[in-house]
Amino acid sequence: MENGHARNRVAVIGSGNWGSVASRLIASNTAKLPSFHDEVRMWVFEEILPTGKKLSESINQANENCKYLPGIKLGANVIADPDLENAVKDANMLVFVTPHQFVEGICKKLVDKLRPGAEAISLIKGMEVKMEGPCMISKLITSILGINCCVLMGANIANEIAVEKFSEATVGYKKDKEVATRWAKLFTTPYFLVSIVEDIEGVELCGTLKNVVAIAAGLVDGLDMGNNTKGSTECYSLKMSSRTVSAD
Ligand SMILES: NC(=O)c1ccc[n+]([C@@H]2O[C@H](COP(=O)([O-])OP(=O)(O)OC[C@H]3O[C@@H](n4cnc5c(N)ncnc54)[C@H](O)[C@@H]3O)[C@@H](O)[C@H]2O)c1
């Protein structure tokens, strides 16, 4: 697409805390890079706010996600869309950023609804645990939709990136370096440094399992048990999580 005639079009599937920040990052780039269409469609799981207003309408009116990212403008080229099919229909670059437990249902709704040649990237930390064992989210997306799926992971706290504090992340890809480079270009800003590595599984597992370790470390800190216990807990939590656990 980038070397062809049409410009790349991006849809973000998810509009929570990280989805809103990812849309903001992406929109700052699509607004200035000629290889991308300006508009970023952000699919919103519709919610009714305490005011009675729909979340998607509120986002489009205020250019702000008052529930999941209050106080931060998303960029005028971010359009909230509560209609999943409509949000993705023109996009050739799909960014998945919902909590992991919703991915399977969302993908099933998108079967045969995507633009030919669409590519995906998952920003989701977690695994789907099936009877046969754990299934990585990128694999789940590829198996249901039959499309290539890269991953983007890092030690990323959405609220810090929203206020442009420096952070870095890694795109994991399989074989197609040109596609990974295009994803990196879409996300990279002066305060968000993105590199690429030809290892989807390694990047996705590190992104997911680090959260399990973080929970264990937090428990040890809370109980004031010291660094030796923290070290052993981290090893133990990695061993356990590599067997079954799903994480957010
Ligand atoms: N928040 C972060 O700092 C951060 C950083 C890196 C990665 N992540 C990852 O990003 C993913 C999304 O996390 P988040 O923090 O944006 O989530 P969040 O908790 O802020 O938002 C939850 C989202 O899920 C939506 N939702 C609720 N019910 C739903 C349903 N039935 N179907 C579909 N959507 C539904 C909500 O509307 C909301 O948009 C997770 O996998 C998380 O691990 C988050």
Distance 226 CA to ligand 1 centre (A): 32
What the block records as the tokens of 35 is 């290889």
Q: Are strands 93-96 and 8-13 parallel, antiparallel or unpaired?
A: parallel
- pLDDT at position 245, please? 44
Residue 55 contacts by C-beta under 8 Å, 6 or more apart in sequence?
15, 44, 46, 47, 48, 49, 65, 66, 67, 80
Q: Which long-range contacts (CB under 8 A, 24 or more apart) does 178-182 make?
A: 178/2, 179/119, 179/148, 179/150, 180/150, 182/2, 182/8, 182/35, 182/93
Residue 14 contacts by C-beta under 8 Å, 6 or more apart in sequence?
22, 42, 43, 45, 95, 96, 97, 98
- pLDDT at position 235, please? 73
Pocket lining: 202 vs ligand 1, CB cutoff 6 Å: no
Residue whose CB lies within 8 A of the most ligand 1 atoms, among 45, 54, 78, 165, for a mutation test: 45
Distance between CA atoms of residues 191 and 182, nearest Å: 18
- pLDDT at position 234, please? 72
- pLDDT at position 149, please? 98
Known catalytic residues are 210
Residue whose CB lies within 8 A of the most ligand 1 atoms, among 15, 17, 168, for a mutation test: 17
What are the 10-residue block averages of pLDDT along the chain, 248 residues in total? Answer: 73 98 98 98 98 98 98 98 98 98 97 97 92 93 98 96 98 96 98 98 93 90 94 73 48
H helix intervals, 81-226: 84-88, 103-110, 137-145, 158-162, 177-187, 200-222
Closest ligand 1 atom number to CA of residue 98:
12
Q: In the block, which residue shows the tokens 């609804």?
A: 113
Distance between CA atoms of residues 189 and 180, nearest Å: 16
- pLDDT at position 233, please? 78
Distance between CA atoms of residues 124 and 18, nearest Å: 9
Distance between CA atoms of residues 38 and 81, nearest Å: 16
Distance 101 CA to ligand 1 centre (A): 10
Pocket lining: 13 vs ligand 1, CB cutoff 6 Å: no
- pLDDT at position 130, please? 84
Closest ligand 1 atom number to CA of residue 55:
37
Distance 225 CA to ligand 1 centre (A): 31
Residue whose CB lies within 8 A of the most ligand 1 atoms, among 13, 18, 67, for a mutation test: 18
